[in-house]
Amino acid sequence: MVVGRRFLTLVLAFAAMVLGIEGIRTAVDWWHGVLPAPTFVDYALLAGLPGIGWLWWRYLSPFRKACVCQTPLSPVAPACRAGPAKPASRGSHDRAPTGR
């Protein structure tokens, strides 16, 4: 079950990447006036760019919050969601650093 889900995520990520790249290429051609006669596919790629970008960033990107690749490899390093951080003392916020 997990292998199927990972494979489906890989296929969707690849499809979103290809559509995003083709959409950006179409947008650049349209911006520079190189696109001679835009077709329905060109308009669909241009209109779908925000949705493809959101889909990529929210669900398929390695920079999303719930990504497994953001967990530290070292057991010494604390995890991001290991619990509430220890609050700093009030004195450390009010005083300027003193150095020699």
Rg (CA), the chain: 23
Tens digit of pLDDT for each residue in 43-72? 888 898 898 888 877 777 777 666 666 566
Q: Which ranges of the chain does DSSP label H, i.e. alpha helix?
A: 2-32, 40-55, 90-94
| Structure tokens that stand for 50 in this block | 């925000």
Q: Are 24 and 49 in contact (CB under 8 A)?
A: yes
Within the chain, which residues score under 70 in pLDDT?
A: 1-2, 64-100
pTM, rounded to two decimals: 0.55
Domain boundaries of the chain, sorted by first residue:
2-64
